[in-house]
């Protein structure tokens, strides 16, 4: 169960050997970084693809890569190797009010 301390949301950390060799956390972090880079690159390729067949193939690969990225993120969060900052509730409320006003500016058709 995630714990919250000082606005930090994190699971208890699974300990790994602290040696010069890469450990499970290092490998997972390296793969997560690679998957994030790949999804960014595939997103750009999708935006620029003019051929429908290539677009569909790229989209399939993009979705698979995005799923891998999400699974790695979940693995790292579960093991306490990835933490998040809790959002300030007052700032969330202010942003909600600000952007809620925008919806009135666009008529629904």
Write the pLDDT tens digit of every residue in 58-108.
999 999 999 999 999 999 999 999 999 888 888 888 888 888 877 777 766
Q: Please list the alpha-helical segments (H only) found in the chain.
A: 24-48, 52-78, 89-103
Q: Which residues contact 7 (CB under 8 A, 6 or more apart)?
A: 85, 86, 88
Using alpha carbons only, give the angle 51, 55, 60 rounded to the nearest 5 degrees.
155
Which pTM value belongs to this model?
0.74
Tell me the C-alpha to C-alpha distance, in Å, between residue 52 and each of 4, 34, 38, 57, 61.
Answer: 46, 26, 21, 9, 14
Write the pLDDT tens digit of every residue in 12-55.
999 999 999 999 999 999 999 999 999 999 999 999 999 999 99
């Amino acid at each position: 169960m995630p714990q919250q301390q000082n606005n930090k949301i994190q699971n208890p950390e699974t300990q790994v050997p602290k040696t010069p060799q890469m450990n499970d956390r290092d490998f997972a972090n390296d793969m997560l970084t690679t998957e994030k880079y790949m999804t960014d690159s595939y997103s750009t390729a999708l935006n620029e693809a003019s051929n429908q067949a290539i677009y569909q193939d790229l989209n399939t690969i993009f979705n698979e890569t995005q799923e891998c990225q999400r699974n790695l993120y979940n693995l790292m969060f579960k093991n306490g190797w990835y933490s998040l900052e809790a959002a300030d509730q007052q700032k969330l409320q202010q942003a909600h009010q600000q952007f809620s006003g925008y919806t009135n500016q666009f008529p629904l058709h």
